[in-house]
Structure 1
């Protein structure tokens, strides 16, 4: 009788420990999940440009290298998310380039700036998916070319800013109006930066990160095009930012360091996401931003090789990351992020 009772007690104790360990493991599982999709069909590359029109992604230009050659590219590809397949489209007609920017408005895509390896460029081009054609539009309105900038579309306008003109990092922003084929300068972001990130939520653009004069930039801003104003949000590195209050620095909800250059960024379901990039070394961690409470939360880390200079975009409440580089290695893979899945599904 005693042996049976002892056996039951040992069983219950073992079960309790097992359940406790299981709950602890489950609590450590980060939200979201990455899965590998059909490889990008062009050559491996970094610093490509990407935009989305009607749930179709377009990725092209960039820089490729092998043991024998290095070159800028002008090919362009479209990705059909329903078929999980890539198709070549008309090549970009401007100079082959890397580190360009891209945005889409009014059912058309726009690509410009960057470097051809010798010169920094100011030209911009419009892509029409209906007839698969490109045409040149008004140049970016600065005297020098620019690389490492950011671009986004809101409403009927495109916006381009930051980057480096070959001499200095920049903070100015310009609005492009397709109906008049013209640019106008708008309010500048409050601090200079090159290789920052941007995503758009509810017609507000969020720009952060990057570097300025070789130092990582922690400031993070929201741009409202209706009021033409930049609103500073909490730092990407609150504990290391003198402008943050002691209350924020002592709050565990803000105990993170998200500083980085050249990450991928996209928006899904009212949340912003950044992943990969460089902070001393290439990264694979992924973070979700909630604009309602101005707080970041870590989600499932990118499951491909850590990298930077990737192309990021979102389609149908899913995020995507394509290409990129780690050191001298360049990639041609495509990954999908589902914020509603989990890595242990």
Structure 2
């Protein structure tokens, strides 16, 4: 017992004589890339004296650090953040390093379409948006196309060697460097535009009845038209081969029949979901992925945690999928959701700054999406607008 007491006393003396030394570590910032971005973007900070205890704040909001070495930090800018300039602060148990950072807006309004065509369609070729057909202000339908250059924010009328029949409610897509327009109020006729020859060429008609509100998935040299309305609400999937100019019916869509759904393609995998079953008056909230090689559908594990959407828009960018707008019954939707395929989950990204919009058109050019026209959720008002949407700065 005496021996134990002596040891404890000795330990106490040693501890009492020890000195607690706190080492100050002053972080430094050499560069920030990018130094201006929308909320939620990945930001790389280069500098020195970064540790696992380093804290990064944008203004007063703490950022999530996803990677750290002594001279490099990878962080996610908080979302939401107020637009404008703020201080980016990096602290590693010492004097913090501070630099300026600019928070960019998700949405910027651009020059609207000259004719104000509603229910038009188009495609992207060589970094320009080709948008045409639709219903113009006097109620007439048109066959005119315009080209939009995002760099100069200008529209130019397309003067092609020939034209396609006027229509509204058609749908378009790009494949193999050419643009395609199918159906709408004109029926099942199918047209190809070649920017090299500046000619429209009629291709083999869609073999079923007139199709409205499908999801379009372009996978390599094949285009898949999924679900939609063709004198009935459909689960059908039709493949068009650009190479062979022929149509083939594939296995049905994995979910229930629907129209006005949304979709996108990520890494050669097609995704489709949401929409409206007109027969049962049901708005849907499931999402499915399509495997081209096996011609099969699998339900995506995470349903979209939002109001069920019809008539929205979908697109992919930088390995993620995005959906937004549309309506749920008598309620317009302004939310935009981001889908991460590696995590199989949805995150609320932001809210549209314009009006809740039904049946808009969306086109991806470079690192941005462009949202064109549309109508109010109850079809009482047409919106002749063009919005540039940057879901992530990279």
TM-score strictly above 0.5: yes
The aligned counterpart of 2:205 is 139
* Candidates 298, 315, 337, aligned match of 1:287: 337
Cα drift, residue 290 of structure 1: 0.6
Larger strand proportion of the pair = 2
Q: 2:386 aligns with which of 310, 334, 343?
A: 334
Q: Is 2:61 the partner of 1:23?
A: yes
- What TM-score do you get using the length of structure 2 for normalisation? 0.69
- 1:189 maps to 2:287: no
Query: 1:34 — aligned with what?
Result: 106
Provide the aligned length of Structure 1 versus Structure 2.
297
Between 1 and 2, higher relative CO (CA 8 Å, sep ≥ 6) is seen in 1
Rounded to whole Å, the distance in 2 between the matches of 1:56 and 1:187 is 34
CA distance in 2, matches of 1:59, 1:258: 30
1:39 and 1:76 map into 2 onto residues whose CA distance is: 16
Deviation at 1:171, TM superposition (A): 1.1
Contact 1:124-1:140 within 8 A present in 2 as well: yes
Separation of aligned partners in 1, 2:79 and 2:124: 34
Matches within 5 A, 1:1-345: 22-23=60-61, 29=80, 33-65=105-137, 69-90=138-159, 93-116=163-186, 121-142=187-208, 144-166=209-231, 168-190=232-254, 191-212=256-277, 213=279, 214-234=281-301, 236-237=303-304, 256-280=305-329, 281-326=331-376, 327-341=379-393
Residue deviations 1:202-253 (CA, integer Å, cap 9, x gap): 111111111012211222111121221111113535xxxxxxxxxxxxxxxx
* Conservation of the 8 A alpha-carbon contact between 2:173 and 2:180: yes
Closer/same/farther in 2, CA of residues 159 and 74 from structure 1, 3 Å limit: same
In 2, are the aligned partners of 1:198 and 1:265 still within 8 Å (CA)? yes
Q: Secondary structure at the match of 1:257?
A: coil
The structural deviation recorded for 1:312 is: 0.7
CA deviations on 1:127-148 (whole Å, 9 max, x unpaired) are 1111222111000111x21211
CA distance in 2, matches of 1:86, 1:236: 38
Cα RMSD, aligned residues only: 2.6
d(CA) in 1 for partners of 2:322 and 2:110?
22
Instruction: Deviation per CA, 1:38-95: give whole Å up to 9, x if none.
Output: 3233322332213222322222222344xxx423332212222222222211478443
What SS does the aligned partner of 1:286 have?
strand
Report if the CA contact (8 A) 2:217-2:264 is conserved. Answer: yes
Structure 1 residue 32: deviation in Å?
7.8
Q: Secondary structure at the match of 2:233?
A: coil
2:108–2:389 Cα contact (<8 Å) kept? no
| Distance in 2 (alpha carbons) for counterparts of 1:224 and 1:296 | 20
Higher normalized helix content (fraction of residues): 1
CA contact (8 A) 1:111 1:124 kept: yes
- Any runs of at least 4 consecutive aligned residues in structure 1 with deviations exceeding 6 A, and if so which? none
Q: Deviations over 1:236-274 (max 9, x none)?
A: 35xxxxxxxxxxxxxxxxxx2242111121111000111
Q: Name stretches of at least 5 consecutive residues in structure 2 with no aligned partner.
A: 1-56, 63-76, 82-102
Change (3 A) 1:286 1:232: same
Aligned-partner Cα distance in 2 for 1:272–1:32: 21
Report the 3-state secondary structure (helix = DSSP H, G, I; strand = E; otherwise coil) of the residue aligned with 1:115.
helix
